[in-house]
Structure 1
Amino acid sequence: MQYAIGVDIGGTKVATAIVDEAGNVLTESIISTDLSIRAIKMVEKINNEIEQVIKRTGIPIEQLIGIGIGAPGPLDSKHGIITSPPNLRGWIDVPISQLVEQHFSIPVSLENDANAAAMAEKLTGAAQENNNFAYITVSTGIGAGIMAEGKLLRGLKGNAGDIGHTVIDPSFGKCTCGQDGCLEWIASGTAIARQGSLIMGKEISTKEVFNLYFGGNEEIVHLIGKVFRVLGIACVSVINTFDTEKIVIGGGVSKVGDPLFQSIQAYVGEFALNETGRQTEIVPAKLEQSAGVIGAAALCFNR
């Protein structure tokens, strides 16, 4: 049996786990992402957590085939550098692969977090039988991992799949990236909370917006209807571009359940360009809690 370390770095927490080649998590540790300290100090904390999970399992380091790291982009996966993620304030050109590899003397791989989650869904989640699929996360932001003919589509530096900054409808106003009407500006969890707060005249959370939606608030129902349609448009664009057989949707917004998936499936069934595209399955992710660490570890198994 082969083992790898998976590290999932997010804006609020870092998860670290030992994962076997079947995708089973042996042990996992979660710490807060401290953005008040220098990035190199946070990497030292991550190295310490890696040491602790290794100790807890008792697996000799010689049996670990590598360490995989999933992190938000932009990044340079080919050179192991986290370049400038908006969710990791102050992490500018951090050579994280080098820093971790020097500490443990075993190979380290860096990947965009959405790509890592796609790897996890392929290894042991909702897309095990699929070689052409997209994993889309709809959470604080929106991103995608694209699997084409059984291989992860990375692009020049590992940032392929950043569909959140595809322009959908300029009438929604200026996104944080500077463009007008980006998908993420309209349909992410953050966007839903922002627009719901404007409607209600007070600051409310994404969860509270959906509570109002299920409660039948007319204006909120109209808002969420637009959001679901925009997500349908995004899925059709992915299907038409990459000829996928399945789209796996994860992230906090996916927890709304059937109304979301039924709406997107109906839109895809009507508007995808060809017959096979219109039959694309739209399904929820299976590995929400552990997708990041499993996918990061899978980078080592699939190196």
Structure 2
Amino acid sequence: MSYAIGIDIGGTKVAIGIVDGEGRVITRESLPTDLSISPEDMVSRIAEAIKRLMAANRLEQEHMLGIGIGAPGPLDPAGGRITCPPNLPNWRDFALVAELKKHLNLSIVMENDATAATLAEHWIGAAKGCANFVYVTISTGIGAGIFMNGKLLTGASGNAGDAGHIVIDPSQGTCVCGQKGCWEWVGSGTAIARKASEILGRPTSTQEAFASADQGHAELKKLIEQVFTYTGMGCVSLINTLDPQMIVIGGGVSQVGEPLFKAVRQYVSTLALNPTGRMTQIVPAALQQDVGLIGAAALVHVPYR
């Protein structure tokens, strides 16, 4: 049996795991993304975690096909560099692949994290067998991966799918990217927590905002309904542009479940431009919290270029 190491780098944590050729996660570990240390030191911690997992499972380097990394964009996959990620400011223009190779003598491939997750959902997830779909992740930020005509579309520089920076509502202020009213700025988990904190006058988590809305807090209920509408708007923009059969939605915010999916389906069925677009399937990600980790490993296991 051959295995791949998957590394999913996020703004708050790094998921690391060993995944077999059927997409099963054999073992995993999670590290906090420590922005108080250098990215070189963070990579050293990641490498140590990989070695721990291999040793604990009696696996040697010859059992590994390679390492796949899902990283936040913008990035330079061909050059193995993270270029200017908004949520990892001290990782700017960081040669991640070269740094990791100092610790592990394995082949390493890197793609945008949402692109990697898209490959996972096509491999063993909700979009298995679907030739045309978009994967949208709504979490700390919002990203997307595009799978069209049976293959991943990564764009000229590997950065296709930054759907979180589609402008949705310019009246809502300036996004971290500099544009006004991006989907990520108004509809991500970070956006929900920010707006809920303003409403309640104290720090409030995304989870608390959803819970308070469910319990009948009028302003928070209005906020959550608006976020659902923004999600529908973003999906319609993707449908009108790309004409997918399906949109798969994952990420922490998607865990609210049916209220989100019902609202988005209703919006899409009413306002997508083409009749076929109005029938686009809107489905939850099958892999949920493991999608990034499995997606990173899929970059090694699954031919996608």
Q: In structure 2, what is the Cα distance between the partners aligned to 1:79 and 1:240?
A: 32
Deviation of 1:129 (Å)? 2.0
Deviation of 1:2 (Å)? 3.0
Q: In structure 2, what is the Cα distance between the partners aligned to 1:21 and 1:107?
A: 16
Q: In structure 1, what is the Cα distance between the partners aligned to 2:223 and 2:32?
A: 33
Deviation of 1:217 (Å)? 2.1
Aligned to 1:61: 61
- Asked if 1:155 is matched to 2:155, the reply is yes
2:248 alignment partner AA: V
Aligned to 1:30, what secondary structure does the other structure show? strand
Deviation of 1:57 (Å)? 2.2
In the alignment, is the contact (CA less than 8 A) between 1:137 and 1:143 conserved in 2? yes
Aligned to 2:137: 137
Q: In structure 2, what is the Cα distance between the partners aligned to 1:201 and 1:26?
A: 44
Deviation of 1:97 (Å)? 1.3
1:191 alignment partner AA: A
Deviation of 1:60 (Å)? 3.2
What is the TM-score when the length of structure 2 is the normalising length?
Answer: 0.95
Aligned to 2:39: 39
Deviation of 1:144 (Å)? 0.6
Aligned to 1:225: 225
Q: How many equivalent pairs are there?
A: 303
In the alignment, is the contact (CA less than 8 A) between 1:72 and 1:113 conserved in 2? yes
Aligned to 1:146, what secondary structure does the other structure show? strand
What is the TM-score when the length of structure 1 is the normalising length?
Answer: 0.95
Aligned to 1:210: 210
Aligned to 1:277: 277
Q: In structure 2, what is the Cα distance between the partners aligned to 1:174 and 1:188?
A: 14
Aligned to 1:261, what secondary structure does the other structure show? helix
In the alignment, is the contact (CA less than 8 A) between 1:22 and 1:123 conserved in 2? no
Deviation of 1:102 (Å)? 4.2
Aligned to 2:190, what secondary structure does the other structure show? helix
Q: In structure 1, what is the Cα distance between the partners aligned to 2:82 and 2:148?
A: 25
**Cα distance 1:219–1:109, how it changes in 2: closer, same or farther (>3 A)?**
same
In the alignment, is the contact (CA less than 8 A) between 2:251 and 2:289 conserved in 1? no
Deviation of 1:263 (Å)? 0.4
In the alignment, is the contact (CA less than 8 A) between 1:27 and 1:56 conserved in 2? no
Q: In structure 2, what is the Cα distance between the partners aligned to 1:2 and 1:12?
A: 30
Bigger Cα displacement from structure 2, 285-294 vs 52-61: 52-61
Aligned to 1:29: 29
Deviation of 1:236 (Å)? 0.8
1:25-69 CA distance string (max 9 Å, x none): 111122222222211121112112222222222233223211001
Q: In structure 1, what is the Cα distance between the partners aligned to 2:45 and 2:163?
A: 32
In the alignment, is the contact (CA less than 8 A) between 2:164 and 2:184 conserved in 1? yes
In the alignment, is the contact (CA less than 8 A) between 2:86 and 2:176 conserved in 1? no
Identity %: 53
RMSD across aligned positions (CA): 1.5
2:90 alignment partner AA: G
Q: In structure 1, what is the Cα distance between the partners aligned to 2:44 and 2:102?
A: 11
Q: In structure 1, what is the Cα distance between the partners aligned to 2:205 and 2:31?
A: 24
In the alignment, is the contact (CA less than 8 A) between 2:10 and 2:71 conserved in 1? yes
Note the residue ranges of structure 1 that are not aligned, 5 or more in a row. none
Aligned to 1:258: 258
1:94-118 CA distance string (max 9 Å, x none): 2111222343332100111111111
